[in-house]
Structure 1
Amino acid sequence: MTIRLPGADGTFRTYEPRTESTAYSVGSAPLVSRTVFSAAHVVADPYADTTPDGPAAVDWDATLAFRRHLWAHGLGVAEAMDTAQRGMGLDWAGAAELIRRSASEAKAVGGRIACGAGTDQLVPADRPADLATVRAAYEEQLALVEDCGAQAILMASRALTAAARGPEDYLAVYGHLLRQASEPVVLHWLGPMFDPALDGYWGSTDLDAATETFLKVIAEHPDKVDGVKISLLDAQREIDLRRRLPRGVRCYTGDDFHYPELIAGDDQGFSHALLGIFDPLGPLAAEAVRVLDTGDAKGFRELLDPTVELSRHLFAAPTRFYKTGVVLLAWLAGHQSHFTMVGGLQSARSLPHLARAYELADRLGLFPDPELAEVRMTSLLTVYGATQ
């Protein structure tokens, strides 16, 4: 069997899909050498009568089933993050319900979970002129996460970016939140390539200056910071930053371009992981870390390095639309019955982009049933008028 795939130049190429998948064990030994979270996507309800700017309609059964899939392979779940379309289709009411349901499911199955706490209940028209409103919004979300028994990830805030006058305001807001957090949290630095509204976070568009403010927040409250998630797509900057972290504070890479080398590390340290690409790569990523657990860094890289081409494709500019490719692959892999996204975001990437994502994922053996993936990809092509 072959399938004709459209390219970016307007021509079609013939591709011969794999006939066998690569199987990865479920219920294996826990991961020990690295702490690894997959930022997980949400599954939309395809039959809900919604509009792009209306409240999200979520298929809760399919959404929670996907999280059980990640936990079964030994990964932690980073919930209600940007991969779950926070601020891009999933509002705070939907995110709050997602946190409640996922935290309850994590308790039931013994899965590790950390959840995003931000300020997205402050919609753009209500962006505050004062920091007190920002703090209150953060406090509301932090309280919900902690009440659900989950670890908190303090997400970067569009509202804080708009309200802050300089680095001192970031120090004040984060210091206030860290002092009242009941358990150590993860601080998330999300770069503007993921969300343009976050340009100038930590009080400066100069990344060196922003780094100093970020490190000062941590240095003033090291007992309240479990780790930091760095999503700047700059491997050397992450390495330099992690070498300056206080002892005991983890660096969780959020670099979907350089994760194999950052997780493998060097003689001065390594990064743990909190990655959106580990949503489609979950079983393979877990297998790679188990190889690393044996001390086999070469084997780890041999498994994970070939996945970088797919990740760089999914996260290509405009990077914030990577979720479309992630959900496509979940559908092709059989984790959900449709290719529909909250906010209609399934339309955010071109057909050639989606076709390339299918090809790269198939070459890696990511689809448990390659024949199903081919049938579904063919049906998508037909919808676009690309007959075989």
Structure 2
Amino acid sequence: MRILFLGYWGLNDGLTTSTVFPHLRILQERPDVEAIRLVTIERSAEAQAELIFAPGFAVTKISFEPLRSKPSSNVIFNKIEDFTRFPAELIKQVAEFRPDLILARGAPAGALAYLVWQKTKLPFYVESFEPHADYMLESGVWRAYDPRYLFQRHWETKQKQLALGLMPVAENYRQELIREGVPAGRIVTVPCSVDATAFTFDAGARARVRQQLGWPAGAVVGVYVGKFGGIYYDAEAFQVFKAAAAHFGAAFRLIILTPDAEAEVRAKLAAIGVGAEQAFVIKAPHAEVPDYLSASDFAFATIKPAPCRLFCSAIKIGEYWASGLPVLVTPGVGDDSAIIEAEGGGAVFDLSQPGSVPTALARLAALLQSPTHRHDIRKLAVKYRSVGRATEAYDLLLAARPA
């Protein structure tokens, strides 16, 4: 079997490292897989850079060929140009590589796979399948008249109809797809996988990072990983940080690992009274994230609530759990908010409910008092985010594909 694996992020993007590479490892180890062609989409400076595929494991079956986006000051025109040019480039790759199927990571990549199918009838599967168009609409990033929304929603409908297999990231969405008429046999739930071993709590890293930051061993450290804005809270997130600082008092410290401009983040922290001595802000390589999580005591997942958020799976929550961190999260985030409430993996807050944040912080602080809380919470990552879920999905869907 020859597989063209189509991602939607750049080779060096944290999402590629955390979500694509683990699945490439699984596929490469399958005896029925002869070769894999990884295709990423490179934007901004990376679009012109020399890229070397070296994910940290022995590459025996994988080749790499990026799609390079043309620079444009207009985001809409840029994306439209991508979706008119990239299918033709992918068709050329199909002719050269001769894959048996396309495996697309995410609904936007699935849209490209569908556009290739239109011309070639090459079978395709979509993992990490989510209602991306509705995410962007409900988050206020796109408008209902935005061409990106209209096209993406149409292409998602086609993926539901034509993909040989869909791997939604939440059981909530699998059930919704079945209600919409997608045959249950074509759907397997695969939450965003996490390498639980890589994110295991490391006491040595905890002490080392805190010493480097000049923070005392008794500090109560919260950590936030990711961007601000879009599908995530922005100004509201900093108000939650402010509430945490008030709750834990002088002991509170904050680590923010973000690609956002440090000066902008620092200015927002200063506005809520969190000074430079209390916070550390950096754009950290994904390989360094586990050490910062080990140095922390709890984590923030300030994801904007929206109806379709029930169908998502935040990779950061799985990584937080793998390190044993209780998570402060909004309601209705995939299957995770319900898991947190039922199994003690953190606390849920709702900004529309007065007093919800202090209540959630109190619940989280109580969890921290348990001497086994890191061990107990890590079990959630093993139970719900194991890469074994992806292995099982590939076994089911790829084995059932037509000869």
Q: Normalising by structure 1, report the TM-score.
A: 0.36
Larger Rg: 2
